[in-house]
Amino acid sequence: MPNFNILVNGSRRSVQCDADTPLLWVLRDELQLTGTKYGCGMGVCGACTVHQENRVVRSCQISIHEADGLSFTTIEGLSLDGSHPCQTAWIEEDVAQCGYCQTGMIMEAAALLTKTADPTDAQIDETFSGHVCRCGTYQRIRKAIHRAAASLRS
């Protein structure tokens, strides 16, 4: 089996697996980073969202071969202690119900706030149009993003 190297949450990791193995399964099964969730396997629900360099990607849609040599951040790497403003805002706004989709949403929110310091509701809605929350907590997600944005600006 071939060997692949990726930088995950600041640590260089080496894995041996089939070249077409999705990054999602490498993160979860090989590296034990289970915060990134499997949702649909087609890149449309957002549960598997991670950061590649400074952009949002769906880890179920990237093979380990394509990921080789690249840098990724998962929810575990967003902050060491869960203190990232998006994570704390999610708790303060009581966003999660079942919580399954939330790590992908938090990763999306963190990326949005690095590009847009004070997003409008329309910008948030557009950014999150590719995420599915079965519990329907979209209003609380919006409030949490505004809270996190205010925290980051202060």
Digit-coded pLDDT (tens) for 82-114: 999 999 999 999 998 888 889 999 999 999 999
Written as one string, the DSSP assignment of 21-80 is -BHHHIIIIIS--TTS--S-SSSSS-TTEEEETTEEEEGGGSBHHHHTT-EEE-HHHH-S
The owner of tokens 């119900």 is 97
Sign (positive or negative) of CA dihedral 112, 110, 116, 72:
negative
Digit-coded pLDDT (tens) for 28-65: 999 999 999 999 999 999 999 999 998 999 999 999 99
Say what the pTM is. 0.95
Residue 47: partners with Cβ closer than 8 Å, 6 or more residues away: 36, 37, 38, 39, 40, 100, 101, 103, 104, 132
pLDDT at 1: 87
List domains and CATH numbers for the chain: 3-78 (3.10.20.30), 85-153 (1.10.150.120)
